[in-house]
Amino acid sequence: MNYLITIIGPTAIGKTSLSIALAQHFGCDIISCDSRQFFKEMTIGTAVPSEEELASAPHHFIQNKSIFENYSVGDFEKEALEKLEELFAKKNIQIMVGGSGLYVDAVLKGFDEFPDIDESVRSEINSKFEELGIEFLQQKLQELDIDYYKKLETENPQTLQNPQRMKRFVEVCLGTELPYSSFIGKRKNKRNFTPIVIGLEANREIMYSRINQRVDIMLEQGLLEEVENLFPHKERNALQTVGYRELFDFFEDKTTFEFAIEQIKQNTRRFAKRQMTWFKRTENATWFDFETDRNEIIKSITSKIQNS
């Protein structure tokens, strides 16, 4: 039987160091499912593991794409499953780690199946979006699938600002004349592994303190210069993320540098809160305080494997 040890939790909680410790203990590889770390142009602002960390265990899906490529969660699901099949042929225990809940779910559970949508529907939505902006998509989704809109508003509000995903929701509604939510949960995707999900958490004060500290460290490492180099490409989808958007505003003279840094910290804290809301819904996850002795976590994982 194959086992995929999956480490989840908010940003800056220590997932990377735990994943390396587990990979060294079990003698296996690490699949990264942090959607911000896929892109080779983004290093500091995405907290890519250091060269030393990357050398400590074999890693996959880190800085393997460019911001100029279109790369979807569906693409990741396909590639990650192919890589896991290859890795499981060598060792029946592998590790996945990352803070992108949607990408974790894609590998563990897969996606629902949607009908093909006529290209004319897609073209019409694109032209309306170009003319009216994200508000058009938000309003349309409210009209066509108010239940799903409210679910996003409560559980994943940043998605309401994501044009690519909002276009998809609306095109499914218009193209099928059915709510997007009516297609969810209908398909069961088979996996050739058993997930063992380990969550890391901390109380809010500690978590927020670690986030603030990480932002300060990123600045010392050269975050400002990294964002400045990417400024000419600020419209790219991959760059619509915390740590980049706020400094783009600074380079456009919309805010002061100090305010931009405070916004990065605040928005990262909000992001961490949303991550926890998402991950706490994960089935059969075992949660540990981030300072828990790693041997205790290893013991828990080993017990689950032996008893499965």
Binding residues for substrate: 11-16
167: β partners? none
Report residue 16: phi and psi, to 5°. -60, -50
How many CB atoms within 10 Å of residue 117?
16
CA 267 to CA 241: how far, in whole Å? Answer: 10
**Tokens for 190?**
């088979």
Annotated binding site: 9-16
Report, in angstroms and rounded to the nearest whole number, the Rg of the chain calculated over CA atoms: 20
According to DSSP, the residues that pair with 200 across neighbouring strands are: 288
Give binding residues for ATP as ranges.
Answer: 9-16
DSSP letters, 48-100, are PPPHHHHHHS-EESSS-B-TTS---HHHHHHHHHHHHHHHHTT-SEEEEE-S-
Q: Chain-centre distance of CA 40, in angstroms?
A: 16
